[in-house]
């Protein structure tokens, strides 16, 4: 960039020999060093000066006169250099000190600029940049007003009269109209890859926190309505972009953390952005977070759409890509770490070897650990959120004690876990007229299925070994549990039925246990499946029945099943029985029944022929029928004739249902038992009762079938456990033994040991985040703990558990007040996040549910949904500067707009609180 030279007074020059020696000495002494200034002098003038001083005659005709670089310029109007000038042919380069001497001795042609150039450090060499980069500058709001000036943000702000303290950002626009953000404004022009012909555009942040180049979506119908809105700064919703309630909840809590928000609002972050940290995100996460905070605290938005922030998070943390539900604590952990690295004041992290205490005093070791931590980590996040643990490990073999002090950003405290579990089951007795009884059982959480049966046995006086536990799902047995299976396999939402069973589940014995399903036939045959059989669908509750092996004929099972369902299946009256002649008109029905019974299987049921199915077509029991296998082969030979006579009589009556062998899913496998072979008991037998829709409607009472009674144990209200936050903190500091997956290497034993570990709190930060570990994951179970943690809104005192002392003044400040809560409603696989937060300016509590914000009362805040707690140390709390609002209406919506949290498209979340306003 060219700059004019101020006129310098010409001084009396020294002798010619002195001039020559001084300039030659300076040329020999000065080497090219990056950042130094050198000057271009036209070669002909310089050669004439050399001739002049070498003559030693001040009156010589070779006197050069004023420094004149006219021959180096393309034109004298703009003073642009000629193209392709060559050093030592067209010009010479002299260091700044030599230039200023020549200028003082001889002066310079009026209005000519001094050709000042910088030394640049290129990848392959160091040289004087003869042709500097020419940059055009303009404002985003007035891109027609383009000027050429030296590149510097400060110069630009002066050039365009930008208000002092205004926040700006720069864009590089190349000739192809593409723009790229210039994030580091302190970088050199060469390092920023700027080239001649580029335009640098400066934009200023709007009053509503947005940028002119990327105005976000707003939550009202018109820009004018949004621009006219004036509300309490910070009382602003965040739009749910699709399962992003976890992100919104964490952002609202951080937004209402006063020291961090004020740090961004006063633009302190601008001077601390770290663009070179390899662990950081090139300042992009910090800038994206700053944009959200400035918009939320502008007081000009009902709700902000954090789309750019979401995109940046997904770019740097792939686990948050897309729109799946995530954990607010995981997002918060990533965000605090990302902000720290983007704002880390330490540009070059030195390697520091950690030392064990080795018997030194705790105070000395702790100060060393904190000092080492700050040598590598120094940011607003460390200033606000970081504290120090004391970790003590003891080897179980050699008793070696290892003490270290480790920094932390939040406390993850465990919840006291009960060893018991409450389960609700339905007990089904053998009495056919008795309704199922619902019981509430308290069982060992780590127990077996037999433990469940034992507890139920005490209530029913039925031996536990006669009980079968089953998971019923979609009208079938999803699983039959063995007595030694873990109860962790059973989820709280499973429908568990316990059946009384006096038979054997195994093959041996004179009895076999049948799993009985109920199916309804469709009115039409399923020709599309390649067969002419009827489609079926399961209904009602399945049953388990113990059946003697000798009663496996169709007629015997029919009567057994009918007796078992006596409570809700009405048998036909004698008046409803058909005469023999009536069957002659039912040939079509006979054909349908024949098709159905052709698939009767394995001796459980045998398909009647046309003459057998018709009620009036009695067929005599002859010997050839026995040969065809129409008498059950499982009966003894002596009883077959008698069974055949009884069967023939039964065929005169209308059958309510047919019997079919099926698989565990309740479906008939094609070709099962068509050969009429004997039933095999090598696996659990499943049998279906197939009902004709008309018969089901007439004889099956659905209302009665669904009825059940409640045991007195159900009347005892389930007491929700409440624990104190202090209990969780004490549990956090309890001695524990390391898990096998995470042993400690003992330097004395020279091997890994399952050492005992104890964590203690040494120092606490200004803002303490407490993570309640509601989600419990073990190798045996996964669950969410919904117990209520009673946490104080004021005066949370850590004086009893802090180890650090501060000399004569006793313990350090250790009292905290609550400022925000992140809530989680729902279970492991689904749910919804919201937050409560206290506004730093007016002290009022608000409830944030994505884009909706309502006033909150203090008594609403402590619930079993609390997941993350934000506490501010009392000695750092600034009193509210504004009075609490007197208006009882909702801050961002009408007061009568009362609704429960939406579920992000997932079920299982429960309404949080009644959001009526004060």
The residues carrying an active-site annotation are: 245, 832
* DSSP reduced 3-state for 690: strand
Residues, the chain: 918
State the Cα–Cα distance between residues 14 and 19, nearest whole angstrom.
6
Token duo for residue 797: 């005192």
Q: Are 669 and 663 in contact (CB under 8 A)?
A: yes
Give the other-Cβ count within 10 Å of 762's Cβ: 23
d(C-alpha 861, C-alpha 858), whole Å? 6
> How many Cβ atoms from other residues are within 10 Å of residue 723's Cβ?
16
Q: Look at residues 179, 204, 193, 200 and name the one whose alpha carbon lies nearest to residue 136.
A: 200
- State the Cα torsion 168-228-259-273 to the nearest 10°: -20
The residue among 162, 189, 381 whose CA lies nearest residue 269 is 381
Residue 376 structure tokens: 């590598």
Strands 116-121 and 126-128: antiparallel
| CA 481/CA 468 separation, integer angstroms | 7
Tokens, residue 69? 């670089």
The tokens 């050199």 sit on which residue?
188
CB of 481 closer than 8 Å to CB of 470? yes
Placement of tokens 């996964």 in the chain: 782
Residue-by-residue DSSP string for 785-852: ---EEE--SS-EE-TTTB----GGG-SPP-EEEEEEEEEEES-SS--EEEEEEE-TTT--EEEEETTE
User: What's the N-to-C CA distance of the chain in angstroms?
Assistant: 64
Per DSSP, the residues of 284-340 read: HHHHHHHHHHHHHTSS--SEE--HHHHHHHHHH-GGG-TT----HHHHHHHHHHHHH
Determine contact, residues 128/78, Cβ cutoff 8 Å.
no
Instruction: Give the containing element (helix H, strand E) for 729.
Output: helix 725-732
Beta strands in 531-664 (DSSP E): 534-548, 657-662
> For strand 767-773 and strand 411-414, is the pairing parallel, antiparallel, or unpaired?
parallel
Report the distance separating Cα 765 and Cα 377, nearest Å: 15
Tally the C-alpha atoms within 13 A of residue 211's C-alpha that lie toward its C-beta. Answer: 19
Q: What is the 8-class DSSP label of residue 707?
A: -
- Both tokens of 6, joined, read 């101020």
Backbone phi, then psi, for 405, in 5-degree steps? -120, 125
CA 693 to chain centre: 49
- Cβ-based neighbours of 338, under 8 Å, separated by 6 or more: 280, 281, 285, 286, 316, 317
Q: Which residues pair with 423 in a beta bridge?
A: 441
Tell how far CA 868 is from the center of its chain. 14
Q: What is d(CA 473, CA 538) in angstroms, rounded to the nearest whole number?
A: 11
The full DSSP string for 500-539 is E--S-SSS-SSEEEEEEEEEEEEEEE-GGGTS-PEEEEEE
- Record the tokens describing residue 837, joined without a space: 């937060």
Residue among 44, 93, 47, 88 at smallest CA distance from 70: 44
Host H or E run for residue 39: strand 37-42
């Amino acid at each position: 960039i060219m700059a004019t030279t101020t006129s310098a007074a010409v001084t009396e020059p020294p002798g010619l020999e002195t001039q020559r020696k001084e300039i030659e000495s300076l040329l020999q002494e000065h080497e090219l060093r990056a950042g130094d200034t050198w000057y271009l002098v036209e070669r002909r003038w310089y050669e004439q000066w050399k001739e002049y001083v070498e003559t030693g005659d001040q009156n010589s005709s070779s006197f050069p006169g004023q420094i004149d670089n006219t021959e180096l310029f393309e034109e004298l109007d703009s003073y642009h250099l000629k193209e392709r000038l060559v050093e030592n042919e067209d010009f010479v380069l002299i260091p700044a000190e030599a230039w200023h001497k020549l200028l003082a001795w001889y002066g310079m042609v009026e209005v000519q600029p001094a050709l000042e150039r910088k030394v640049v450090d290129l990848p392959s060499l160091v040289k004087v940049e003869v042709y500097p980069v020419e940059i055009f500058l303009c404002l985003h709001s007035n891109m027609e007003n383009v000027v050429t000036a030296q590149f510097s943000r400060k110069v630009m702000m002066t050039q365009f009269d930008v208000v002092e303290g205004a926040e700006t950002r720069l864009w590089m626009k190349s000739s192809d109209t593409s723009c790229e953000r210039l994030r580091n404004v302190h970088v050199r022009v060469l390092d920023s890859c700027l080239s001649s012909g580029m335009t640098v555009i400066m934009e200023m942040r709007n009053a509503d926190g947005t940028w002119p180049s990327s105005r976000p979506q707003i939550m009202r119908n018109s820009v004018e309505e949004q621009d006219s809105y004036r509300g309490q700064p910070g009382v602003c919703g965040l739009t749910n972009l699709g399962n992003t309630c976890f992100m919104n909840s964490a952002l609202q809590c951080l937004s209402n953390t006063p020291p961090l928000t004020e740090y961004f609002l006063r633009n302190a972050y601008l001077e601390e952005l770290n663009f070179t940290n390899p662990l950081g995100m090139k300042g992009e996460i910090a800038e994206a977070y700053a944009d959200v905070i400035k918009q939320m605290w502008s007081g000009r938005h009902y709700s902000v759409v954090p789309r750019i922030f979401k995109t940046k998070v997904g770019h740097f943390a792939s686990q948050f890509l897309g729109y799946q539900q995530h954990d607010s604590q995981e997002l918060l952990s990533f965000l605090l770490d990302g902000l720290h690295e983007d704002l880390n004041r330490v540009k070059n992290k030195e390697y520091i070897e950690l030392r064990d205490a080795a018997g030194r005093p705790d105070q000395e070791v702790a100060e060393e650990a904190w000092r080492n931590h700050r040598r590598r980590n120094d940011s607003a996040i460390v200033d606000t959120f970081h504290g120090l643990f004391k970790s003590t490990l003891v080897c179980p073999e050699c008793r070696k004690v290892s003490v270290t002090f480790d920094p932390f950003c939040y406390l993850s405290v465990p919840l006291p876990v009960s060893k018991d579990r409450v389960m609700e089951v339905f007990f089904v007795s053998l009495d056919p007229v008795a309704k199922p009884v619902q019981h509430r059982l308290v069982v060992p959480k780590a127990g077996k299925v037999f433990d469940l049966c034992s507890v139920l046995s005490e209530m029913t006086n039925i031996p536990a070994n006669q009980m079968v536990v089953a998971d019923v799902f979609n009208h079938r047995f999803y699983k039959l549990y063995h007595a030694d299976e873990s109860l962790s396999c059973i989820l709280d939402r499973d429908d568990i039925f316990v059946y009384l069973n006096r038979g054997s589940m195994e093959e041996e014995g004179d009895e076999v246990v049948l799993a009985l399903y109920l199916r309804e036939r469709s009115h039409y045959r399923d020709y599309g499946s390649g067969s002419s059989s009827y489609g079926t669908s399961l209904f009602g509750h399945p049953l388990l029945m113990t059946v003697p092996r000798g009663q496996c004929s169709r007629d015997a099972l029919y009567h057994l099943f009918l007796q078992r369902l006596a409570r809700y299946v009405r048998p036909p009256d004698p008046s409803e029985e058909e005469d023999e002649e009536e069957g002659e008109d039912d040939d079509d029905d006979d054909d349908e029944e024949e098709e159905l019974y052709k698939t009767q299987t394995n001796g459980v049921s045998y398909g009647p022929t046309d003459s057998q199915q018709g009620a009036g077509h009695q067929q005599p029991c002859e010997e050839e029928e026995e040969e065809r296998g129409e008498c059950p082969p499982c009966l003894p030979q002596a009883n077959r004739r008698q069974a055949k006579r009884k069967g023939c009589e039964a065929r005169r009556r209308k059958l309510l249902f047919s019997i079919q062998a099926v698989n565990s899913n309740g479906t008939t496998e094609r070709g099962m038992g068509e050969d009429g072979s004997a039933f095999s008991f090598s696996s659990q037998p499943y049998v279906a009762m197939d009902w004709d829709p008309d018969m089901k409607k007439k004889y099956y009472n659905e209302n009665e079938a669904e009825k059940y009674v409640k045991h007195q144990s159900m009347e005892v209200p389930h007491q929700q456990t409440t624990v104190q936050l202090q209990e969780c903190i004490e549990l956090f500091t309890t001695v524990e033994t390391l898990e096998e997956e995470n042993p400690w290497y003992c330097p004395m034993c020279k091997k890994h040991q399952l050492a005992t570990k104890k964590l203690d709190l040494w120092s606490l930060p200004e803002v303490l985040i407490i993570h309640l570990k509601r989600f419990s994951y073990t190798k045996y179970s996964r669950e969410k703990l919904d117990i209520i943690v009673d946490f104080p809104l004021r005066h949370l005192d850590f004086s009893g558990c802090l180890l650090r002392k501060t000399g004569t003044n006793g313990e350090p400040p250790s009292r905290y007040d609550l400022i925000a809560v992140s809530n989680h409603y729902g279970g492991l696989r689904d749910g919804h996040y919201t937050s409560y937060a206290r506004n730093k300016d007016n002290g009022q509590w608000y409830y944030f549910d994505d884009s909706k914000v309502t006033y909150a009362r203090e008594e609403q805040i402590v619930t079993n949904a609390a997941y993350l707690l934000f506490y501010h140390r009392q000695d750092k709390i600034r009193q509210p500067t504004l009075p609490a609002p007197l208006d009882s209406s909702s801050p961002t919506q009408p007061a009568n707009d009362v609704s429960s949290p939406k579920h992000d498209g997932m079920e299982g979340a429960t309404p949080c609180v009644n959001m009526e306003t004060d």
